[in-house]
A and B are shown apart, each in its own frame.
Chain A
Amino acid sequence: MMAGTQIPVPLEIGRANEHDVKIRWQNGHESVYLARELRLKCPCAGCVDEMTGAVRVIATGVPAEVHPLAIRPVGRYAIAIDWSDGHRTGIYSFELLRTLCACEQCRTAGQ
């Protein structure tokens, strides 16, 4: 019905373990996101410069044990995460999350 390729959509967003996030995609692929790495990839304007794309979030300023407290859906295209360090302004689009998949298959395909 719509032109071009559809954006990737998750089937389920849940836990990989106590703190890490797991996404099961509609095409069957599974992605696991380590909590702290996902926090450091926050795309909000406070963490990434809107004009240059330069990362502003300082890794050493983020607690080692940072983890999501809650995950909320945003419209049909993204999720927002409430982090244990109080940060909560990032909107992680499904598209971004799909590219952040760190599995062996996706990493080699990306290179």
Chain B
Amino acid sequence: MAVTTEHVLQALRAVQDPDLKRDLVSLGFIKHLTVNGGSVAFQIELTTPACPVRDLMREEAKRAVSAIPGVSSVEIGMTSQVRSSMSAMPAGGLIPTIKNVIPIASGKGGVGKSTVSANLALALAKSGARVGLMDADVYGPTIPTLLGITGQPEMEEATRRIFPIEQYGLKVISMGFFMKPEEAVVWRGPMLHKTVEQFLGTVIWGELDYLLVDLPPGTGDVQLSLCQLIPITGAVIVSTPQDVALNIAQKAIAMFKKLNAPVLGIIENMSEYVCPKCGHHEEIFGTGGARRTAERMQIPLLGEIPLATPIRAASDAGRPIVLSEPGSPSAKAFFAAAEQLAARVSIRAMQGELAAPVKVTF
């Protein structure tokens, strides 16, 4: 019996994406399917290059198709096309070329939000995604230091629009680019709103799969402006494991809920300290607090990042750990968290495609 494309698709209908909980064919993931005698070739187009289950899906697809009688070889290419969660956006919106906007938030300061933002952004970019990082912490912009950026962004003269600075494959904009180190932002709400609007609207981001937004701590003007100006994909909450930090993190979660902005998950930073000399694990701030909070609030725990000197040292040196020591346990924790985040975004975008956006016809 000759093998047909229909046989192959039938076999692939039995392979599920474990995150999206649907089969590869009905998700539209199978592209460029060719059958030549017993040789089958196709591409699996995932919803993110940072897919945590890509190898698993490839193996399962290969097994399923190989089992068809008459198939002698199976060639599978893996590609990705990040889906947009912005379908609710009215036409001509502020950022038509950005598919997903993900604010990184915390209830209180000092939990390592900027370090987490920079490493997540770099981990996503390393997977092959097009990533931007917007440092919206206008009061204490640290992203330029973390990424070792000293230059200033250029302006397109004709339109007065700003090009983001490209560093390590990321497109970056920060209040820090426009201020001297000894200056301080002392602004009321309307100025903050204006800045957020400019960072979104007048920066030439180009096509982006993910724009991560490093927010100031707390639940103030910048958070509110961001959620008002665009339909954000969903927020990531960073917290240390202590109860006091988690209690405040819950306030950030409550804020996003009030603004109908989904929370994609929690990342526990400074989860535990591993002594580089003896390997002893010390839970300085306690551990697992974020896991318990996540369970109680029914929000995914995206990752647990250890408290490790190399993370701090790499950040201070302007070359975050996912670049400087990609094989280290700390970097691996960031890569894993980035994959979980990408998976949640994909799920969110697929749900968004199914749910009708609010239609304003007045």
A associates with B: yes
Partner of B358, one of A7, A10, A21, A68: A10
Interface segment out of the listed A52-60, A70-78, A100-108: A70-78
A1 interface residue (CB < 8 Å to B) = yes
A94 interface residue (CB < 8 Å to B) = yes
**Chain A residues near B260 (CB-CB < 8 A):** 7, 9, 75-77, 94
A15 interface residue (CB < 8 Å to B) = yes
Q: Complex formed: what's the CA distance from A1 to B297 in Å?
A: 9
Partner of A1, one of B229, B231, B298, B362: B298
**Chain B residues near A1 (CB-CB < 8 A):** 262, 298-300
B228 interface residue (CB < 8 Å to A) = yes
**Chain A residues near B262 (CB-CB < 8 A):** 1-2
Q: Are B358 and A70 in contact (CB under 8 A)?
A: no
Number of A-B contacts (CB under 8 A): 77
CB within 8 Å for A13 and B298 given contacts A1-B262, A76-B227, A76-B260: no
Q: Are B299 and A3 in contact (CB under 8 A)?
A: yes
| CB-CB nearest in chain A for B261 | A76
13 additional A-B pairs beyond A2-B262, A76-B261, beta carbons within 8 Å, are: A1-B299, A7-B257, A11-B358, A11-B359, A13-B360, A14-B360, A26-B356, A73-B360, A75-B230, A75-B259, A75-B260, A77-B258, A91-B228
25 CB < 8 A contacts A-B:
A1-B262, A1-B300, A2-B257, A2-B262, A2-B263, A10-B358, A11-B358, A11-B359, A12-B359, A12-B360, A13-B360, A14-B362, A68-B362, A71-B360, A73-B231, A75-B227, A75-B229, A75-B232, A75-B261, A76-B227, A76-B231, A76-B232, A76-B260, A77-B258, A94-B260
Q: Are A77 and B362 in contact (CB under 8 A)?
A: no
Tell me the B77-129 residues at the A interface (CB within 8 Å).
88, 90
A4 interface residue (CB < 8 Å to B) = yes
**Chain A residues near B230 (CB-CB < 8 A):** 75
CB within 8 Å for A72 and B360 given contacts A2-B262, A91-B228: yes
Q: Complex formed: what's the CA distance from A14 to B358 in Å?
A: 11
Scan B217-258; emit 1 where CB is below 8 A from any A CB, else 0: 000000000011111100000000000000000000000011
Q: Are B298 and A71 in contact (CB under 8 A)?
A: no
- Grouping DSSP codes into helix (H, G, I), strand (E, B) and loop, the B interface class, with mixed when no group exceeds half, is loop
The 10 closest A-B pairs by CB, nearest first: A77-B260, A14-B361, A71-B362, A76-B260, A12-B359, A3-B297, A75-B227, A76-B231, A3-B298, A77-B259
B17, chain A: closest CB distance, angstroms: 17
Partner of A13, one of B88, B231, B299, B361: B361
A40 interface residue (CB < 8 Å to B) = no
**Chain A residues near B258 (CB-CB < 8 A):** 7, 77
Q: Complex formed: what's the CA distance from A76 to B85 in Å?
A: 12
Q: Complex formed: what's the CA distance from A73 to B358 in Å?
A: 8
**Chain B residues near A75 (CB-CB < 8 A):** 227-232, 259-261
| CB-CB nearest in chain B for A5 | B257
Which residues of B are in contact with A by a Cβ distance under 8 Å?
88, 90, 227-232, 257-263, 296-300, 356, 358-362
Q: Complex formed: what's the CA distance from A26 to B88 in Å?
A: 14
CB within 8 Å for A2 and B261 given contacts A13-B359, A14-B361, A75-B231: no
Tell me the A1-45 residues at the B interface (CB within 8 Å).
1-4, 7, 9-15, 21, 26
**Chain A residues near B228 (CB-CB < 8 A):** 74-75, 78, 91
**Chain B residues near A3 (CB-CB < 8 A):** 257, 296-299
A79 interface residue (CB < 8 Å to B) = yes
Q: Complex formed: what's the CA distance from A9 to B351 in Å?
A: 15
